[in-house]
Structure 1
Amino acid sequence: MAYSYLNDDSSADTTQTWNEILARDIPWETYATARLITEKDLSLIRRYDKRSAELKASMLDESGPAYVEAFMTVLKNVTKPETVQYVLALLIQMLQENPTRARLFHQQSDQHLTAQPDPYTVLERLLQRQDDWWSQDKACKLLTIVIESRPRKGVSVANGASTSDGYSSDPAETHISLFLDWLVNQLNSRANLSKNPPTVINTSISCLAALLKERSTRQLFLRAGGLQALPEVLKRAKDSPTSSQLLYETCLCVWQMTYLRPAAEVMGSVGLVRLLVDVCRTAQKEKVFRMALASLRNLLGYEDLGLASDMVEAGLNKVVITRSLQSWGDEDVVEMLTYVDEKLKQGILIVSNFEKYKKEVMSGQLDWSPMHTSDLFWRENVDKFEERDFQVLRVLLKIIETSRDVKTLAVGCHDLGQFIVNHTQGRYIVNDLRGKELVMRLLSHSDVEVQKQALLCVQKLMLSKDKLDFLKG
C-alpha cells in the first residue's frame, strides 16, 4: 500500500527542512540516564541512528518491530520538540523508503513484553502539541498509516460478534473515533480555514481521504458530524486556483461517503449537492470533474431521496450538456455523463410540475428556474393553463402589467412566449386577454433583458401558425 500523503512536505515550516531536522544530534544517553528509555532502547537507537539507508533497511528487516518500539518509547516519554521532530522524521523516512514497513507498528518484539508502546495512544497525544504544528502534521499522517495498516479491521458478522451496523467490533474503533473527532475539529476551526496556505486543512483532508476507504470509518465520520464540515472546505478550495489537489481530495471524501445511504440523506441539506454541481461547472482538472460527477452519479442512485431535483435547480443539466461536447479520454466519464443526463430528465419532470409553477406565479415573483426554460415542461403542461378559465395565464399577464421587478418581468415575457408557441390557440388567447398590448409596453423598458424578452414574445405573437409549429419542433 502506498501512502502518497507522506511525500507531501508542503506543510513543513520553511525554516525546518527535512535535512535540518535529520542533521540534529540527539542526546540519547541523557534520556537513558533519566530512565526515559531503557538500555536496550539506547543500544538499538545508537546502532540505527545516522546510518546509511542500506544498513538501516537491513536492521529493519532483521528486527523491525524492536526499532519501531524503541522510537515509539521516545515519543511516549520525551517532550523536547527537537527530539520529537527528529524521531517523527525518522519514522516517516522509514515508511517513505518502504511503505510495507507500516506493519511493524503492529508487531511485538521481545524488547517490551510488559509495556509495549501503544502507537495509537502515543500519536494521539502528539496531536495535542498546539505549539508544534510540524509534529502535529507528522503525527497525523503516521496515525493514519497505523490505522490503515492495522491487521484486524471491521469484518463481516460471519467472522465475529455482530454489531448494529453489521460489522464485528474493531479493537481500534475508539482510537479511530477520537482521531476523526480531532480531524473534524480541524476542519471546523475558523482559524485553520483562514491560514494561508491552509496546511492544517490539507493534511486533515488527505488523511480523511485515506481513512474513508473503510465503510466502518465512514459511519464514524458521519457520527462525528464530518459531513457538516466539508461544505466550507469544498467552497474555499473551489474558489482558489491553487487548491486543485485539496479540491480533488475533498470531492474524494464526499464520493466515498455517497456509498453510505444515511450520509446521502444528509448531503442535500448541508449544501454539498449544489457545491458538487458548481465543481462540475468550473473544474479545470479532469480528475476533479470526474470525482465530483461520480459523487453526483452515486447520489442519483437514491431515487427516493429526490436529489435529482436539487441538481436540476442547481443547473447540472446545462453543465452536462456543455461537458458532453468535450472530448474525454476516460470512457467512464462519458458513461457517467450519459447516466446523469437520463436521471436529470426524470428530475426535471419531478421538479417542474405544474403545481410548483402555479405556486411561483401566484407568489408574484418569478425566477429563471429550470421549469421556465425546459421545453419538456411546456409541452407536458401547456394544456393545464386552461384550468379555471386560464387562471394562471391571467395572473401571469397581471404580473407583466404591474410588476416592477426586472427579473420577474423578463421571465414573465419569456413564459408568455412559451405559452404562445406550445398552445394550439396560444396567440389568439393572449391577444384576447390584451397580452400583446401589455408586452409591447415593455419594449421601451429601461432594462435590456426585459426589452429582449418582450421583443421575442411580440415576435411570437406575430408569427403564423406554421412558423409557430416550426419553433415548437
Structure 2
Amino acid sequence: MSLDPPTYLASLQSNIRQRPIPWDGAVRAGTLTEDQLQKIRAVDKVKKEQRKQIVEADLDAYRILFVGAKGQKSVFELATKRQDVVQYILVLLRDLLAGIPALAKALFKSGDPYQHFLPLLGHSSSSDDPVPLLTSTVLVSLMASSKDESAATVDKALPMIFSYLSSLTKNSDAGLQDIGVQEYSSLLYSRVCRRQFWDQRSETVAPLIDILRSALGVNSDDVSASLWKSTTTTTAISRFEGSLSGGVGLQLLYHVLLVIWQLSFDASEVGDELNDEYDIVLLYTQLLRLSPKEKTTRLLVSTLYNLLSANPNSLLPTAVLARLPALLQNLTAKQFSDPDLQEDLDNLRVLLDEYTKTKTTFDEYVAEVNSGHLRWSPPHRNTVFWAENARKILDYENGELVKKLAEIMSKPWENDKAVLAIACNDIGCLVREVPGKRTQLEKYGLKTRVMELMGEADENIRWESLRTLGGWLKYSFDAK
C-alpha cells in the first residue's frame, strides 16, 4: 500500500540530497574508500531506471557497500564520525530500497543487515537530529520491501523500530506523528508483524487511540464515561473539512484509521482485548457519526465489520448499546461512490439486524451491565421488566450481574453521575421484586454503598438512593 510521504520528511530528504559533499576529501580522510565512492557516484543523481539497472547488475557489491562483509567494512562503519555523509547515505539507501526490491532481499544475504542501523536509532534523543528519523525510514523500507520474517527482523529489529516510531506518535508535532503512523502502516505486512505490534500495544496502539479520542474532543480522565454519556446526549453534529476537534488533521486521522484497520485483519485474536482496553466499538461508532470524508467512513465501517463479525458474542451487544444499528440506518440513506464501502455497510447492517432479531430485553440489560456503564435505557423504568427478570438477574451466572453492579457502583463517576442514580434504581427494583435476596445484595456491600450515596451532591442520586433504602428498610421491618 503506497502512501504519499509526509511533507516534513520529503522536505528533509530533498534538502539532504542537494547538499554538496566533498567526496574526494572524505576518501583522503578515510571516511570511505575509493571503491565505495565509485559505487555511490554510479547511482547518485541518475535516472531511476538507470539506477535500478546498475544496482541489480551488481547486487553483491551494493550489499557490501551498505552492510559490509567479512573483512570489509560498510560505508556506515567508516563514516561514523561524518554526520553529513551518514545522512546523505541514509537518504540514498532509502531511495534505492524504494525503487529496487531486489536490493532489500540481497541485504539479508549477510545474515543480519541491522547491526549498523539499529544503534543509529538511539543516535540522539533530540527530535532535531535527523539521523534516527532517516534511519527509521531505511529500516521500514528494508523490512517492507523484503517482507522478511526472520528472527533478526521479528525478534530484534521490529521491537526496536516500533519503540522508536512510538516516540514519534507521542510527539506534539503532527508532522512527526504522521511519519510514525505511516511507517507503522508499512510494517504491518504480515500476521507476525501485527502480532508484535499488538504485543507492544502500550507503546504502539495506545497513542493511536489517544489521537482518535482527541479527534472526538474526549480528553477527560474517564474516557469511557465521556464516550458512553455522549450516546445519550443530543448534541449538534459538526462536519469538519480541514481538521477535527483536538487539532487532529484529516490526513493524520486517515492514517491512524488505516493502521487500526490493518490490525483488524487479526480481529479474532485481538478484538476482545481491543474493546476491553480501548472501548474500540464505542469509539468507532462515535467517530463514524462525525466522519468527515468518505475515505474515513470506509475505514471505520470496514474495521467495525472485521471486529464484530469475528467476535459476535462479545462485541455485538456493545455495538447495540452504542446505538450503531440506528446510525447505520441513517448512513444507508446516503449515496456513497465507493462500492467497497457500500458492501461493508450492507454486511454490517445485516449482521446487526440478525443479532437484534434474536435478542430479548433481558439480553440487552445483561449487555449493558457487562459494558461497565449504565444509561437510562428502557428496562430500568419498566416495572414489567423487573417483575419478569429480577430473579433471573440475581441468579445469572451465580450472581455475576450483581457483582458487576457492585463494581459499577464502587466508582465515583465524576463525569457521568447518572450512572450512580441508575444503579440505585436497579438495586431498589431487585429488593422490591425479590426481597428475600437482600442478603445476597448486602454481601457485595450494596446496602452500605446506597447509604453512602445519600450524601451525594447530585439531587437525582440522593433521591434514588433514598428510595432504594426506604424499600430495603420496609422489607426488613416486614420480615420482623
TM category (shorter chain) comes to 0.5 to 0.7
Q: Which of 199, 205, 216 is matched with 2:192 structurally?
A: 216
Aligned-partner Cα distance in 1 for 2:334–2:84: 53
TM-aligned CA deviation for residue 267 of structure 1: 0.9
Q: Which of 69, 88, 91 is matched with 2:90 structurally?
A: 88
Aligned alpha-carbon RMSD (Å)? 4.4
Aligned-partner Cα distance in 2 for 1:84–1:234: 36
Counterpart of 1:150 in structure 2 is: 146
Amino acid at match of 2:122: Q
Q: Structure 1 residues 181, 366: closer, same or farther in 2, change over 3 A? A: closer
Counterpart of 2:285 in structure 1 is: 277
Instruction: Tell which structure's C-alpha radius of gyration is larger.
Output: 1
Q: Which of 252, 256, 259 is matched with 1:253 structurally?
A: 259
Q: Which of 281, 303, 309 is matched with 1:301 structurally?
A: 309
Counterpart of 1:329 in structure 2 is: 337
Aligned-partner Cα distance in 1 for 2:216–2:45: 44
Amino acid at match of 2:116: V
Is the CA contact (8 Å cut-off) linking 2:144 and 2:189 kept in structure 1? no
Aligned-partner Cα distance in 2 for 1:148–1:304: 33
Amino acid at match of 1:172: T
TM-aligned CA deviation for residue 23 of structure 1: 2.7
Amino acid at match of 2:192: S
TM-aligned CA deviation for residue 289 of structure 1: 0.9
Aligned-partner Cα distance in 1 for 2:118–2:29: 24
Give per-residue Cα distances to partners, 1:436-466, cap 9 Å, x unaligned. Answer: xxxxxxxxxxxxxxxxxxxxxxxxxxxxxxx
Q: Structure 1 residues 38, 237: closer, same or farther in 2, change over 3 A? A: farther
Amino acid at match of 1:255: W
Counterpart of 2:270 in structure 1 is: 263
Counterpart of 2:102 in structure 1 is: 103
Q: 5+ residue gaps in structure 1?
A: 155-168, 393-404, 412-473
Q: TM-score, normalised by structure 1?
A: 0.63
Give per-residue Cα distances to partners, 1:349-391, cap 9 Å, x unaligned. Answer: 7887338759999xxx98344x579xxxx9xx985465499xx
Matched, 1:232 2:213: no
Is the CA contact (8 Å cut-off) linking 1:202 and 1:246 kept in structure 2? yes
Aligned residue runs from structure 1 range 50-449, under 5 A: 50-51=45-46, 56-67=51-62, 69-71=64-66, 73-79=74-80, 80-95=82-97, 99=99, 101-107=100-106, 119-129=113-123, 130-131=125-126, 132-150=128-146, 153-154=148-149, 170-183=151-164, 185-186=166-167, 189=170, 192=171, 194-195=172-173, 198-225=174-201, 226-237=204-215, 240-241=243-244, 243-260=249-266, 261-270=268-277, 271-303=279-311, 305-345=313-353, 348=356, 353-354=361-362, 357=365, 367-369=375-377, 371=378, 384=385, 387=388
Aligned-partner Cα distance in 2 for 1:216–1:249: 21
Specify the SS of the correspondent of 2:261. helix
Amino acid at match of 2:16: I
**What fraction of aligned residue pairs are identical, expressed as a percent?**
24
Q: Structure 1 residues 188, 349: closer, same or farther in 2, change over 3 A? A: farther
**Count of aligned pairs between the two proteins:** 359
Q: Structure 1 residues 387, 223: closer, same or farther in 2, change over 3 A? A: closer
TM-aligned CA deviation for residue 104 of structure 1: 1.0
Amino acid at match of 2:8: S
Amino acid at match of 2:211: V
Aligned-partner Cα distance in 1 for 2:292–2:86: 40
Is the CA contact (8 Å cut-off) linking 1:248 and 1:288 kept in structure 2? yes
Specify the SS of the correspondent of 1:121. coil
Aligned-partner Cα distance in 1 for 2:169–2:94: 27
Give per-residue Cα distances to partners, 1:169-189, cap 9 Å, x unaligned. Answer: 644222343335424632674
TM-aligned CA deviation for residue 148 of structure 1: 1.7
TM-aligned CA deviation for residue 325 of structure 1: 0.7
Aligned residue runs from structure 1 range 8-27, under 5 A: 8-12=5-9, 16=12, 18=14, 20-27=15-22
Amino acid at match of 2:255: E
Matched, 1:40 2:41: no
With 129-138 and 323-332 compared, the bigger mean Cα shift is at 129-138
Is the CA contact (8 Å cut-off) linking 1:251 and 1:291 kept in structure 2? yes
Q: Structure 1 residues 358, 143: closer, same or farther in 2, change over 3 A? A: closer
TM-aligned CA deviation for residue 295 of structure 1: 0.9
Counterpart of 1:436 in structure 2 is: none
Give per-residue Cα distances to partners, 1:306-360, cap 9 Å, x unaligned. Answer: 1112222223222211111101223332332232223334555788733875999
Aligned-partner Cα distance in 2 for 1:262–1:388: 34
Aligned-partner Cα distance in 1 for 2:96–2:368: 63
Aligned-partner Cα distance in 2 for 1:17–1:150: 22
Q: Structure 1 residues 85, 359: closer, same or farther in 2, change over 3 A? A: closer
Q: Structure 1 residues 172, 272: closer, same or farther in 2, change over 3 A? A: same
Is the CA contact (8 Å cut-off) linking 2:97 and 2:104 kept in structure 1? no
TM-aligned CA deviation for residue 269 of structure 1: 1.5
Is the CA contact (8 Å cut-off) linking 2:112 and 2:152 kept in structure 1? no
Is the CA contact (8 Å cut-off) linking 1:13 and 1:134 kept in structure 2? no
Is the CA contact (8 Å cut-off) linking 2:318 and 2:367 kept in structure 1? no
Counterpart of 1:428 in structure 2 is: none
Specify the SS of the correspondent of 1:104. helix
With 248-257 and 36-45 compared, the bigger mean Cα shift is at 36-45
Q: 5+ residue gaps in structure 2?
A: 68-73, 218-242, 394-415, 423-480
Aligned-partner Cα distance in 2 for 1:358–1:302: 21
Specify the SS of the correspondent of 1:320. helix
TM-aligned CA deviation for residue 83 of structure 1: 2.0
Q: Structure 1 residues 388, 317: closer, same or farther in 2, change over 3 A? A: closer
Amino acid at match of 2:139: L
Specify the SS of the correspondent of 2:118. helix
Q: Structure 1 residues 317, 127: closer, same or farther in 2, change over 3 A? A: same
